[in-house]
Amino acid sequence: MTVPAPRTEPADEPPSEADPDPRDPRGPDRWLRTPWETPPPPTPALAPASPAPATAPEPVPAPEPEPEPATTAPEDTAPPPASAPDTDESPAGLRLPPPALDYIGSGPPTYDPEPTALPPADPDGLDDLVPDTVLDGARYGACTLRAVSLRGDSARYRGEPRRDALLTARFGSGEQALVLVAMATGTRAAPAAHLAAAEVCQWIARAVGRSHARLVEDIRAARRGDLKSGLHRLTDRSLGRLRAGAAEQGVASDEYAASLRCLLLPADPECRTRVFFGAGEGGLFRLRDGEWQDIEPRVPEPAGARRAAGDGVPAETPEGDRLTMDLGITTAPPGNPYEPDPGPPPEPFRFRASVARPGDALLMCTGGLADPLRGEPELCAYLGRRWSVPTPPGLAAFLADSQVRVKGYSDDRTAAAVWEA
């Protein structure tokens, strides 16, 4: 076995390990030891029988120990080793991510950065307890997934449970597998908001899991129409079960409700189609070439609301006939007058199927992270620098990036990011 030579050779070092110096008290195998190993003391059995010569041998300098890695290197230090990414020779011109921060802005937020109070617990309902933080990740096909759900600063301070729910699941195996990321946010100030969010994630996961084989086929074949209509039905069915649960509990439908956002990732490395669907507020962003793109699907305004406001309705037909609206005749209110008020209309369905490019990073998140990303350019730029590196962050680094705080934004944060190889 050939042992690589040290970085610098003293003048008195032997030319190879096969020709050691017999006068060296450290033994003939000193070149086989790593620099941080301490040479063992000589034993009497190995000591020379003849007296030492009158002229002592020249001392041989010991190998220098390797320096410990520093967190921040000064400007006049040597370049990093070959194993570290070289930003100057990077073909994409990418820089190393900046050091992790605790907060963005002129000052820290009002609340403490760490959890303060635990939510109250019911001895007969311990299954309903929600942990402060959930962290998950995986790598399938051409993408690497990181997902996290954090309790907001205000909920940590008041001892309230996390209203956001996160579920990651894989259905099937091999290239036929389908990865689902589902996240939901319960209604603010509702006592069972965390339960509603968890239930709708489980219901949509159960529905997707039962249909995963057909979904994989439709994603590969790019059947966008079939995907949109099928996932729309699954979403409406899951949200409808929440409304039915609210009626069973005798509470208003908006007190036991949740927004829902899902991401489908096929495990086939040849398929780079990523499917997003759901209902409710949040964000869908894409990081491409170091620039953020807001690709949240836009939903049209309900036609009934536009007619009630008189927007976009012409005063007469092309033939010159006046419309009934201008005659002062009262129009009938929307809905069935013989049924009770159904309440506000449900959230519109959102859908997007896009083909990812190598080097893209796709981010799906709830409003707790989407709002500061849209409102604080400094946070947007910081995460763009952190997540533009060729290697996706590990779980701990992704957690640190996701919990960078901004003053004025203290809601729960749930995010799932996908890096394309």
- Could you read off the pLDDT of 274-286 as tens digits, one per residue? 999 999 999 999 9
Token reading at 142: 């051409």
CB burial readout 315-352, b (16+ within 10 A) else e: eeeeeeeeeeeeeeeeeeeeeeeeeeeeeeebbebbbb
pTM: predicted TM-score of the whole model, two decimal places: 0.69
Distance spanning both ends of the chain, measured CA to CA: 36
Phi, psi of 75 (to 5 degrees): -70, -25
Is residue 391 within 8 Å of 303, Cβ to Cβ?
no
pLDDT of residue 59: 52
Q: Which tokens hold the place of 89?
A: 């020779």
Q: Summarize pLDDT for 349-371 with one digit per residue, the tens.
A: 999 999 999 999 999 999 999 99
Q: Cα(11)–Cα(31) distance, rounded to whole angstroms?
A: 15
Distance CA 232, CA 226 (A): 10
Residues, the chain, total?
Answer: 421
Average per-residue pLDDT for the chain? 77
Q: Please determine, for residue 181, whether its predicted confidence score (pLDDT) is greater than 70.
A: yes
> Which helix or strand (DSSP H or E) is residue 169 part of?
strand 164-171
Higher-pLDDT residue of 119, 107: 119
Q: What is the pLDDT of residues 247-267, one digit of tens each?
A: 999 998 888 999 999 999 999
379-400 pLDDT per residue, tens: 999 999 999 988 999 999 999 9
Half-sphere exposure of 98 (CA within 13 A, CB side): 10
